[in-house]
Amino acid sequence: MTLRELLEKIKNELLKRKQQLALDLIDGRVSDFESYQRNVGKAEGLMDAHQVIDDIYEKLDKEDA
């Protein structure tokens, strides 16, 4: 498995987890405001991690060029 393949698998898993958080919010599975805030924080963290992977892709592309 190459580094790019590994990063792509991680990126896909992050996206799945973010989608599950969104579904939980939409379905009303959040019992209180504190839980809502926690889930929003998790979603933001997942988006940050996704951005880090995109940044690594850019660095790899520059090194390959």
pTM over 0.85? The answer is no
Per-residue confidence of the chain (65 residues) as pLDDT tens digits? 999 999 999 999 999 999 999 998 888 888 899 999 999 999 999 999 999 999 999 998 888 87
Question: What is the rounded distance in angstroms from the CA atom of residue 46 to the CA atom of residue 57?
Answer: 17
Instruction: Count the Cβ atoms, other than its own, within 10 Å of residue 8.
Output: 14
Measured between alpha carbons, how far is 12 from 63 in angstroms, rounded to an integer?
Answer: 24
Residue 28: Cβ-neighbour burial (10 angstroms; 0-12, 13-18, 19+): exposed
Query: In the prediction, which pLDDT does 44 show?
Result: 95
Residue 57: φ, ψ to 5°: -55, -45
